[in-house]
């Protein structure tokens, strides 16, 4: 009876470990129960490639792709699909970030961009049935080779095809065969190298599991071409399923006379033996592999002589990798010309990669050479999970290198990879996101090769040990600047002095990261910073380490969990003079790195917990401040009362100095006051915080502009030191035609006027340009004034720098955001703005910021009728507000240039800090500069060396962990922030976020994972 459908159930190692054999049993039972056993054939297959979605079932002929199957799904599936012909949507694949399932395999992006040669039979045949392999042109190439081709012709064909070794080195396969064929000596041997050992690589295993005969056929053809009658397949013993399938394949091939004597009656004898390797990485090296088969310790020897002359049992031997062998029959069947048309100039055909790491569609992919890394990572791989940023892709495993984001558009071939310090390798491709530390990952690979070094060569054995020790030292924050030179010199020395590929390539992970990510090593060594917040010896906890103010987050959060609010406030105030502000407007880098938020979890609401403490202090009328040191006579002037100025004043006052702040505006607070709207940061709360700082003796002179009301020179002659922290209060121009219209109002100016209570006239239809916080603020303020507001942003939502909650809030309040749009001309009539001409954009290549550059789409211009245009595309210092002096250096962007290590301008005790130095940045970054400036000013005044000793992050105190009951553990859940309802927000500036209650705060604080304690423990035991 013919079957009307084939149920192709994946039985690769991965799917089996996810329960695919149970699914297969359940399918069989259910199909029998429904009386469909003559209609539906169940076929076990090798890996489909999308292993991360297993167990996988593909129903043919329609190619319906089911994923993540569970035993319980089977009855419904059989009834719906097999009985009633209705494919089950719930079990289909949904691409990341989308909602609609993609029913057919060939439409799934992961599959549709692949090109299968080595994996031509994957998912199409039962690997245990030789007839199915034969039905898909199996062994035809062998028949053709034996009956129609001379060995030399085969070698010529392989040479002409351009096939190169897929094991990693990329040596031309045809030339290798020829070398061996011409070698004197008999018998000759061919070997299949299936000693796959790179971490994260499983190409060879999958090919054997899916299509073992393709390798046998390739080897038999190779044997015939070279003149060998015996072949070995060297598989590591950790691959039991691959071994089992290969054994079955070998015995079936023998039965059919496709192995053994007089193959296909053509007079050629060839047989293979499967050799189980014990799983040593060094056996991937050919001379070690040969030693292992011969029963000797697997150690390499010097080449030449190459195995082609002097190989197994001292006889001429040809070794190729699994993937190379499986390509051979296709080349013979389809011809060298066909094959060589695929790929690039130097790299022909396809390459199988195992895509692993931080990638949505982890799995096995086969792609034409020359495809870009971006296509592999984003189109096939589906991008990075949880919208994290791409950092690097690592190819070639422990022998390979790291490729950074700006090279993502590079085509993949042997030469190009080598040029950028990586290698093709056997096909491991590990994708890393922004949370991967380069030093840590280099250490990981070095640890691996150090373990796997056979020990024969001193350079490899001892050298890897030294490299590892240096990396370990750097990851603990104990690195020295000379370490980088040693790493590089030693790395190159190991390459030269090692006998085999293991030693010759083991420094690559270090050398290639030094090439592309040197700044990250320097951050560890010089600044004791781990930018990815990974290295335990440096970071204590990711939240504390990432905070520009190094707030002791786990300590105060844990104290909140214990209800010890006052103690918690004390800890906060040690490092942050503006917790009410930060609790409201901080960008919370801590939450982005929170371990509880990994893999789609909910980060601890750190910002909200800080706000809770600050509100608690204010509402209870407490006044918790660190105790100032004894008063000193020296005086310091600060120009600007924004976050940098206030923070600097706070720490100088605590140190005992007499501080005066000069502020040109009528109110203190700088951008906090005039840049941020009241509904995010109510004025009375900010004022309370400023009053706290004043209570330390800080004097704030408002309405006083330095440079107009008082000269800078007067300040430095009257004060021991001066800090300039005037911020960036001037909006950037768009540089488009018609911009000078009076109805074009800069968002920063608009916000300032509103915040100072001044009247601003704007039209009914407002368009705000930009994607940052200022754009959102201006739009939401205009909306509150009753206007119709649109935001136009030139990139997509993913690239928007504004806080996520703010963007959501704006949309909720009825503000329309148009993405990929940019204004090109302002249209005015009789001095009245009528509209703007815009152009649509698309995303092109990646720019320096790691984001894809928006490029205008030709002919997509359109006009938009508006009355007021508000650019919010960036800020710079207002030159009229910066106290000038001919000795003070300024940049093209009008920022002040000071020494980055001291913030000192080099003259007359004048320092500068905050946005005026860094350009527009976050509140906490400005505060961190203010704090640092205070330390430097103190050193300057006390005539101490102006140096700063950077230290690893340590918690301020030890706070015991809170013991949770089972019930509490079960109920742990992030509380949602109470918000003012939409109706209550309209037409006023009432605060939108309402803050946590005491009960909510305690509950939320209990979710903290206390990473600091883990680090403490590791620190004491190691």
Partner 1 sequence: MAKIKPGDLDKIGETIKRTMLLREGTGRAKVIVHMGTCGIAAGARTVMKALMDEIESREVNDVILTISSCAGLCSREPMVTVELMGEPAVKYVDLTPEKAKRVFEEHVLGGKIVTEYALAAGSERTL
Give contact residues for partner 1 (rule: CB under 8 A): 1-6, 8, 38-39, 41, 43, 60-64, 83-87, 103-104, 124, 131-132, 134-140, 143, 146-147, 255-258, 262, 264-266
Smallest separation, CB 37 to partner 1 (Å): 13
C-alpha dihedral over 777, 928, 573, 772, to 10 degrees?
Answer: 10
| Burial environment of residue 583 by CB neighbours within 10 A (0 to 12, 13 to 18, 19 or more) | buried
CB of 59 to partner 1, least distance (A): 10
Question: What is the C-alpha separation between 914 and 899, in angstroms, rounded?
Answer: 13
Closest distance of CB 1 from partner 1, Å: 6
Q: Which residue has tokens 């096995």?
A: 364
Nearer to partner 1, 62 or 749 (CB): 62
Closer by beta carbon to partner 1, 141 or else 927: 141
Helix residue spans in 785-881 (DSSP H): 804-812
Q: Provide the minimum distance between the beta carbon of 57 and partner 1 in the complex, in angstroms, as a whole number.
A: 13
Name the nearest CA neighbour of 214 among 124, 302, 297, 288: 124
- Minimal distance in Å, beta carbon 2 to partner 1? 5
Contact 110, 380 (CB under 8 A): yes
Integer Cα distance of 384 and 395 in angstroms: 17
CB of 408 to partner 1, least distance (A): 34
- Considering the complex, what minimum distance in angstroms separates the CB of residue 114 from partner 1? 16
Q: 199 and 428 in contact (C-beta within 8 Å)?
A: yes
CA distance 973 to 502: 48
Nearer to partner 1, 144 or 889 (CB): 144
Question: Around Cβ 949, how many Cβ atoms within 10 Å?
Answer: 5
Instruction: Determine how many CB atoms are found less than 10 A away from the CB of residue 576.
Output: 27
The helix/strand/coil state of 91 is helix
CB of 285 to partner 1, least distance (A): 37
Evaluated on CA atoms 658, 662, 667, 672, the torsion sign reads negative
User: Does 1012 sit behind a cis peptide bond, omega within 30 degrees of 0 on the bond before it?
Assistant: no
Distance of CA 255 to the CA centre of its chain: 51
Closer to partner 1 by CB, 143 or 954: give it. Answer: 143
Beta strand pairing call for 363-368 and 390-395: unpaired
Rounded distance between C-alpha atoms, residue 421 and residue 518, angstroms: 14
Rounded Cα gap, residues 617 and 622, in angstroms: 5
Indicate the residue among 63 and 682 with the shorter CB distance to partner 1: 63
Token pair for 722: 């001066």
Q: How far is the CB of 378 from partner 1 (least distance, A)?
A: 26
CB contact set of 55 (below 8 Å; sequence gap of 6+): 9, 10, 15, 18, 19, 20, 23, 67, 68, 69
Task: In angstroms, give the least distance from the CB of 131 to partner 1.
Answer: 5
Q: What is the sign of the dihedral through the CA atoms of 156, 162, 167 and 170? A: positive
Q: Which CB atom, from 43 or from 424, has the smaller least distance to partner 1? A: 43
Q: Compare residues 34 and 562 and give the one whose CB is closer to partner 1.
A: 34
CA dist., res. 508 & res. 492, Å (int): 9
CB closer to partner 1, 161 vs 252: 252
Q: Smallest distance, Å, CB 342 to partner 1?
A: 21
Let me know: does 900 contact 775? Beta carbons within 8 Å: no
Enter the tokens of residue 403: 């490729």
Q: Which is nearer to partner 1, 265 or 297 (CB)?
A: 265
Q: Do 437 and 530 touch, CB atoms closer than 8 A?
A: yes
Q: For the CB of residue 111, give the shortest distance to partner 1 in the complex, in Å.
A: 14
Adjacent-strand bridge partners of 822: 839
By C-beta, is 187 or 257 nearer to partner 1? 257
What's the farthest any 2 CA atoms get from each other in the chain?
106
Question: Which is closer to partner 1, CB of 262 or CB of 273?
Answer: 262
Alpha-carbon distance of 899 to 659, in angstroms, equals 23
The smaller minimum CB distance to partner 1, of residues 130 and 648, is found at 130
- What is the closest distance, in whole angstroms, from the C-beta atom of residue 125 to partner 1 in the complex? 8
Q: Which residue has the tokens 């130097």?
A: 346
Q: Which is nearer to partner 1, 5 or 817 (CB)?
A: 5
């Amino acid at each position: 009876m013919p079957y009307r459908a084939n149920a192709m159930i994946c039985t690769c190692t991965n799917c089996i470990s996810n329960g695919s054999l149970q699914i297969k049993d359940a399918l069989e039972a259910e199909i029998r129960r429904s009386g469909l056993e003559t209609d539906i054939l169940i076929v076990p297959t090798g890996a489909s490639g999308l292993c991360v979605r297993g167990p996988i079932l593909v129903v043919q002929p329609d190619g319906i792709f089911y994923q993540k199957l569970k035993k319980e799904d089977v009855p419904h599936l059989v009834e719906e699909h097999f009985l009633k012909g209705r494919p089950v949507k719930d079990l289909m694949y949904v691409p990341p970030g989308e909602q609609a399932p993609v029913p057919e395999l060939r439409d799934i992006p992961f599959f549709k961009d692949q090109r299968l040669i080595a994996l031509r039979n994957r998912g199409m045949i039962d690997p245990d049935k030789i007839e199915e392999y034969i039905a898909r042109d199996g062994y035809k190439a062998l028949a053709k080779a034996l009956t129609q081709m001379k060995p030399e012709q085969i070698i010529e064909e392989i040479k002409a095809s351009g096939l190169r070794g897929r094991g990693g080195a990329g040596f031309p396969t045809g030339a290798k065969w020829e070398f061996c064929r011409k070698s004197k000596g008999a018998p000759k041997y061919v070997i299949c190298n299936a000693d796959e050992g790179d971490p994260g690589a499983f190409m060879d295993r999958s090919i054997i599991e899916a299509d073992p005969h393709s390798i046998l056929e390739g080897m038999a053809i190779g044997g015939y071409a070279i003149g060998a009658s015996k072949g070995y397949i060297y598989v590591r013993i950790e691959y039991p399923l691959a071994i089992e399938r290969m054994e079955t394949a070998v015995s079936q091939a023998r039965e059919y006379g496709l192995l053994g004597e007089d193959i296909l009656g053509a007079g050629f004898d060839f047989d293979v033996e499967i050799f189980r390797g014990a799983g040593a990485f060094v056996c991937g090296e050919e001379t070690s592999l040969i030693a292992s088969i011969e029963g000797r310790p697997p150690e390499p020897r010097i080449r030449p002589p190459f195995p082609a002359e002097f190989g197994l049992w001292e006889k001429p031997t040809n070794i190729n990798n699994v993937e190379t062998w499986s390509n051979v029959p296709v080349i013979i069947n389809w011809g060298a010309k066909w094959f060589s048309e695929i790929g690039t100039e130097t790299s022909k055909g396809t390459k199988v990669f195992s895509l692993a790491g931080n990638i949505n569609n982890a799995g096995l992919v086969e792609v034409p050479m020359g495809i870009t890394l971006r296509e592999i990572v984003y189109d096939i791989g589906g991008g990075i999970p949880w919208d994290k940023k791409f950092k690097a892709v690592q190819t070639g495993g422990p022998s390979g290198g790291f490729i950074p984001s700006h090279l993502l558009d590079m085509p993949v071939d042997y030469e190009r990879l080598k040029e950028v310090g990586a290698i093709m390798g056997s096909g491991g491709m590990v994708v890393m996101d922004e949370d991967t530390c380069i030093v840590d990952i280099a250490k990981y690979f070095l640890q691996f090769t150090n373990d796997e070094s056979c020990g024969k060569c001193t350079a490899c054995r001892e050298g890897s040990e030294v490299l590892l020790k240096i990396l370990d030292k750097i990851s603990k924050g104990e690195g020295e600047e000379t370490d980088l030179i040693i790493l590089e010199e030693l790395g190159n020395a190991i390459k030269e002095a090692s006998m085999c590929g293991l030693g010759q390539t083991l420094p690559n992970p270090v050398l290639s990261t030094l090439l592309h990510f040197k700044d990250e090593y320097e951050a560890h060594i010089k600044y004791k910073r781990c930018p990815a917040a990974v290295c335990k010896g440096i970071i204590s906890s990711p939240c504390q380490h990432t905070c520009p103010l190094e707030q002791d987050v786990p300590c105060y959060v844990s104290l909140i969990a214990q209800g010890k609010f006052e103690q918690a406030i004390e800890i906060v105030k040690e490092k942050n003079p503006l917790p009410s502000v930060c609790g409201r407007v901080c960008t919370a880098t801590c939450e982005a790195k929170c371990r509880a938020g990994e893999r789609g979890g909910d980060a601890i609401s750190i910002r909200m917990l800080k706000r809770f403490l600050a509100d608690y202090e204010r509402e209870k009328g407490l006044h918790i401040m660190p105790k100032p040191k004894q008063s000193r006579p020296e005086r310091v002037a600060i120009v600007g009362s924004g976050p940098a100025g206030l923070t600097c004043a706070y720490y100088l006052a605590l140190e005992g100095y007499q501080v005066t702040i000069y502020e040109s505006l009528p109110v203190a607070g700088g951008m906090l006051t005039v840049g941020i709207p009241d509904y995010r940061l109510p004025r009375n709360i900010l004022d309370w915080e400023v009053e706290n700082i004043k209570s330390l003796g800080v004097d704030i002179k408002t309405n006083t502009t330095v440079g107009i009301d008082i000269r800078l020179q007067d300040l430095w002659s009257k004060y021991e030191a001066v800090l300039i922290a005037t911020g960036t209060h001037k909006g950037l121009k768009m540089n488009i035609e018609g911009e000078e219209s009076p109805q074009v109002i800069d968002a920063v100016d608009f916000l300032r006027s509103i915040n100072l209570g001044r009247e601003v006239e704007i039209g009914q239809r407002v368009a705000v340009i930009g994607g940052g916080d200022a754009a959102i603020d201006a739009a939401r303020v205009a909306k509150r004034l009753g206007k119709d507001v649109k935001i136009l942003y030139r990139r997509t939502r993913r690239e928007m720098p504004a806080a996520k909650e703010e963007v959501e809030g704006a949309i909720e309040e009825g503000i329309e955001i148009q993405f990929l749009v940019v204004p090109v001309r302002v249209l005015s009539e009789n001095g009245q703005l009528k509209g703007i001409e815009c152009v649509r954009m698309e995303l092109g290549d990646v720019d320096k910021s790691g984001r894809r550059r928006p490029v205008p789409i030709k002919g997509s211009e359109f006009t938009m009728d508006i009355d007021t245009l508000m650019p919010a595309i960036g800020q710079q210092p207002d030159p009229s507000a910066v106290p000038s002096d001919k000795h003070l250096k300024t940049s093209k962007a009008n920022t002040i240039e000071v020494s980055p290590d001291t913030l000192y301008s080099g003259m007359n005790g004048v320092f500068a800090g905050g946005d005026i130095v860094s350009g527009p940045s976050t509140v906490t970054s400005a505060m961190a500069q203010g704090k640092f400036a205070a330390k430097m000013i103190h050193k300057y005044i006390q005539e101490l060396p102006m140096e700063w000793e950077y230290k690893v992050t340590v918690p301020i105190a030890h706070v015991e962990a809170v013991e949770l009951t089972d019930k509490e553990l079960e109920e742990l859940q992030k509380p949602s922030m109470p918000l003012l309802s939409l109706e209550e927000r309209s037409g006023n500036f009432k605060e939108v976020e309402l803050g946590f209650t005491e009960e909510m705060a305690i509950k939320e604080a209990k979710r903290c994972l206390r990473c600091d304690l883990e680090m403490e423990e590791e620190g004491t035991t190691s």
